[in-house]
Structure 1
Amino acid sequence: MAYSFPEEDREYLTEKLAIVGELAAGMAHEIRNPLTSIRGFLQLLQTKFDPQALEQEYFAIMFEELDRINNIIKEFLSLSKPSQPQLQITPFGQLVAEALLLAEQEAIMHEVKLVQHLAPDLPLLCLDPGQIKQVILNLTSNAIQAAGPGGKVIVTSYLDTTTGQVVTTVEDNGPGIPPEKLELIFEPFYTTKENGTGLGLTLSNRIVASHGGKIEVKSKVGEGSCFSIYLPIT
């Protein structure tokens, strides 16, 4: 089954995200101040232990969790103040390759085989490289987690001359998404992950839309999912 976010729903979603974002922005400052203090005291306390001590592992875990909280705050803030794309001429093939290089470590950790097929004729595109790289990383990370140990993720990027678009697909052989849930995956705060915020796909969808493109998803229960990013050449 295939699904893409309807154009007529974008305005409603934008208003919904703005309201949530305003609430989040008000909370972010109050949350970040104590987090900064906690990190500072943890760093001070960490120096009291031998670098090889078992406690250093506990400190590493605590710092990772603090980073995770900060990342969640950043996602909420991006809802209230979506940044406009900083467009620049970018070699698209190089951008995708760099994103997948960053995703490779996560694939290794999850024992997932990450395969890439990048067409040699991928053109230069006028886009925000940071934002689009974020989208590719997010979709690839989701696919890796869906595939699970022993699974496989295939990222393909090619130029579709008939439609004047560059198409990038991220395909996994995970459990797939039930049809009744496909319409929900782009909604803010909808997630099936234990530690997910439900904002990754929402933000990715908005970023691609701001570039004049779209994201589509095809999924079949028991076989896996395929997310496709369509970006215009001009």
Structure 2
Amino acid sequence: MKYERWLIVLRPDGIIMSVSGGAPLAFVGATVEACDVAAPVKEAAAKLLSSATAHAWIEREIVEADGREIELLRTEAMPLRRSMTPLFDLLARTTETLMAQAHSTSVSLRLVVGHDLPQAALLDGEKIAWGIASLVGSALRYVSGKAAQGSAEERKIQVVASVGEHEGEIVLAVIDNGPGIEPQRLEAMLRRDPTTKRAGGLALVLLDDVVAAHGGRMVIESSTSALDHGTTVKLILPVSLSPNGARARSRRPAR
């Protein structure tokens, strides 16, 4: 009997990116936990994902199960250029470039930074800055549209940075009080065409890849309710902190 070898490549968020060596193509797009594989393979995948280090591009586990040797690779969804990045400075510079645009459309754009946010974190600052700028730019288009509809409500966008629920986790959120996005449209924006790999909201899909490459996740909440409308996009990032673990001092929000 020929000894079969499988290769399963995982994103940092646990989604299977590709397979080879006889592993079913149906695995792609799912998690190992959801696939029909032996318990030792699921345990190895869980270990690989939980022990991933922030600076490693590729890590692997090899397990033998069901007469096969199965190699699991955890790889970043896209290459990152990580460096110790001052978080407040990164966010302040990013939002400052959009202040004039917000002012010209009578939109209030504010940066709110939690008092216990780390001073610096190991991440790809250039890609995260692009992501925040992209989210704010999109929010400006949605919120500014309310003016054309004659709404008297104040148009607001906030960029909020805070520590997450879990240790070593930060949350970067862009919050607007625009008209919101209907669930069906939001789903279409995030869904890639299986043939072209494109999606209606290309920037959101690319940002999701950036966040996944950092080992994090993106959460989108949106409501079209007349009384409670708007959209919140959260980038939840597990990060390595500055060597001394220092926390940022309280700062007044940028205006």
- Give the TM-score normalised by the residue count of structure 1: 0.60
User: Which residue of structure 2 aligns with residue 225 of structure 1?
Assistant: 231
Q: CA deviation at 1:84?
A: 1.3
3-state secondary structure, aligned to 2:189? coil
In the TM superposition, what is the alpha-carbon distance from 1:9 to its structure 2 partner? 7.4
Q: 2:205 matched to which residue of 1?
A: 202
Q: Does 1:180 align with 2:184?
A: yes
CA contact (8 A) 1:110 1:145 kept: no
SS class of match (1:113): strand
Conserved 8 A contact 1:168-1:229: yes
TM-score by length of 2: 0.55
Give 1 or 2 for the bigger CA radius of gyration. 2
Partner Cα separation in structure 1 for residue 219 and residue 165 of structure 2: 19
C-alpha deviations, 1:64-114, integer Å up to 9, x for none? Answer: xxxxxxxxxxxxxxxxxx861111011112111111111212212332110
Give me the whole-angstrom Cα distance separating, in 2, the residues matched to 1:109 and 1:205: 30
- Change in Cα spacing, 1:86 to 1:8, as seen in structure 2 (3 Å) is closer
Q: Percent identity?
A: 28
Q: Give 3-state SS (helix, strand or coil) of 1:183's partner.
A: helix
Q: Which has the higher strand share?
A: 2
**In angstroms, what is the RMSD of aligned CA positions?**
2.3
Deviations 1:132-151 (A, max 9, x none): 10011111111111111451
- 1:2-151 correspondence runs (5 A): 8=15, 84-123=79-118, 124-148=120-144, 149=147, 150-151=154-155
Q: When you count helix as a share of all residues, which structure comes out higher?
A: 1
Structure 1 unmatched runs, 5+: 1-5, 14-81, 192-197
**Aligned residues between the structures:** 155
Counterpart CA distance in 2 for 1:224 and 1:182 is 13
Runs of 4+ with >6 A deviation: none
Kindly provide the amino acid, as one letter, of the partner of residue 143 in structure 1: A
Q: Give the distance between the partners of 1:112 and 1:143, measured in 2 at CA.
A: 10
SS at 1:156's partner residue?
strand
Unpaired stretches in structure 2, ≥5 consecutive residues: 1-12, 19-27, 30-76, 148-153, 193-197, 241-255
Please give the alpha-carbon distance, in whole angstroms, between the structure 1 residues aligned to 2:108 and 2:122.
Answer: 31
